Amino acid sequence: MTAETFLSGRAFLTPAFRIELDGRSTGPEVISDVLEVSFTDDLANIPSFEFVLHDWDPVALRPRYSSPWDANGQPFTLHDGGPEVPNFEPGARVALYLGYLEDGALPLIMEGEVVSLAPVFPASGTPTCRVRALNAFLRGLQKIRVEQNENGTPKDVVDAICAGHGVSVRWATLEAEGEAETNVEVEGTLYDEIAKRAKGYGLVMTVVPPDAPGEEPVLYLARPSQSNDGPVAEFVWGRTLISFTPALSAANQVSAVVCRGGDPHAAGSAQNIEVVRTWADIGLSPEALGPARVADLETAVRGIREVIKPAGVQTVADAERAALARLQELAAEMITGAGSAIGLPALRAGKTVAMSGMGARFDGIYRLTQTTHAIGGAGYTTSFQCRKEVLDG
């Protein structure tokens, strides 16, 4: 993709959105009361969207959306003889469609569950009401409590607890599952128990939408640090990029990670486990910080080691996996950035973009770690946080 093809054939003219409540469109009258709407996609947190409504009925002189009924519970209407005021109460199912009218039907961005409703009654001006929703599928996993014991690897445990609650799960390719254990205690929400085991493999929780209406989504445990997919957009500073602020930091970097643990089945000194892994073990690019042989991370961090003692490390394989996972986390913090661009629905957390126009050190491929799509007074913009891809392969 080139900077020319990035804009070729596109007409960024009329941004639009649609909000559905319990499977039905809220209608143009409600949409006209929406002051701003935004969607945030995040590798570290549950995706969410929120919108701010003009919360005042100028005829009846009362709040409209924050309290959509009278003292007797009778619902208000949007106007005399009109439809009822929609009730965006916590637990309600909402869906956000967002894009450009010139592209045809607006794409579904997220199906969510309302988790909060916050009106503001200011000293001057009219009241507003902010409604926030979380991804409905992942929110559902937070509501399921699991208390059981399982046998097997962390992957086996996740597969078992998901199967026990009717959740379909898919995995990215794993180099090693780790050692199987017996009588593993599982206690917490289904979401947390899956998330902490996925993190041990360097994976994040994503949702694959259903293929057809009525079908359930699939939980996909993905590896965001590696992908063969090409960039979804190419940004050139001063042309297709509104702003970008990259940052290179070696403050928390090390030359090696030492992982220590203990084998409960061994005796004496054989119980002690220690594994050392370096950047060479995860394929750090020689051009990670700039042209090869010119910019060298080793110069800044030579001799600095980080010692970790994660719970559950009982074998060499466990220690190797933990050390490599920590190095991958550190690699993700090496070069980061934040920027903004014209609104593009394709910019989603986990996708990559190409950056140029900022010099040899900061040009390259970046993975989006968080994106926020917003439609408001400034039109449709996408702000994002990202990290440079510094690993080969």
Write down all domains in the chain, each with its CATH number in brackets: 12-135 (2.40.10), 144-222 (3.55.50.10), 233-249+334-388 (2.30.300.10), 256-332 (no CATH)
Top-confidence residue, 151 or 3? 151
Q: Residue range 61-90: average pLDDT?
A: 94
Residue 6, SS3 per DSSP: helix
Q: Which of 138-152, 219-233, 305-319 has the lowest mean pLDDT?
A: 219-233
Q: What is the pLDDT of residue 1?
A: 43
> What's the pLDDT score for residue 11?
58
Average pLDDT, the chain: 88
The pLDDT, as a whole number, for residue 191 is 97
pLDDT band for position 375 (cuts 50, 70, 90): very high
Which pLDDT score is estimated for 10?
Answer: 59
Tokens of 116: 């909060």
pLDDT tens digits, 92-123: 999 999 999 988 899 999 999 999 999 999 99
Q: Is the pTM of this model over 0.75?
A: yes
- pLDDT, one tens digit per residue, over 23-38 is 999 999 999 999 999 9
